Homo-oligomer: A and B are copies of this chain.
Amino acid sequence: MARQKKTIITCAVTGAIHTPTMSDALPYTYDDIAQQAVEAAEAGASILHLHARNPENGSPSVDPNDFAPFLPRIKQATGAVVNLSTGGSLTLSIQDRINPAKTFSPEMCSMNMGSMNFSFHPLANRYGDDDWKFDWEKDYVANSDQNIFRNTFRDIREAAKTLAPHDIKFEHECYDVGHLYNLKFCMDIGLFKAPIFIQFIFGILGGIGPEADNLIFMKRTADRLFGDDYRWSVLGAGGAQMSLATTASQMGGNIRVGLEDSLFISRGKLAESNAQQVAKIRRIVEDLGSQVATPGEAREILDLKGGDRVAF
Contacts and interface: CB of A to CB of B under 8 A. Distances in A.
A208 B116 contact: no
Interface stretch (A31-39, A77-85, A97-105, A149-157): A149-157
Contacts of A243: 250, 288-289
Contacts of A153: 117, 119, 121, 145-146, 205-206
A134 interface: no
Contacts of A224: 211, 223
Nearest to A114: B117
10 contacts: A114-B117, A117-B151, A119-B152, A146-B152, A148-B148, A148-B150, A177-B209, A211-B224, A212-B251, A280-B287
Given A153-B145, A213-B220, A288 B185 contact: no
A116 to B, nearest CB: 6
Contacts of A175: 178
Interface string A242-255: 11001100110000
Given A242-B289, A251-B212, A181 B205 contact: yes
A232 to B, nearest CB: 14
- Give this chain's copy count: 4
A182 interface: yes
A216 interface: yes
Interface of A: 114-117, 119, 121, 145-148, 150-154, 157, 175-178, 181-182, 185, 205-209, 211-214, 216-217, 220-221, 223-224, 242-243, 246-247, 250-251, 266-267, 280, 283-284, 287-289
A188 to B, nearest CB: 10
Contacts of A177: 176-177, 208-209, 214, 217
Interface on chain A toward B: helix, strand, loop, or mixed SS? helix
Contacts of A157: 145
B146 A154 contact: yes
A114 B116 CA distance: 7
B220 A207 contact: no
Nearest to A181: B209
Nearest to A189: B122
Contacts of A181: 205, 207-209
Most B-side CB within 10 Å, residue of A117, A224, A267: A117
Contacts of A246: 246-247, 250, 288
A179 B211 CA distance: 15
Contacts of A176: 176-178, 208
A237 to B, nearest CB: 12
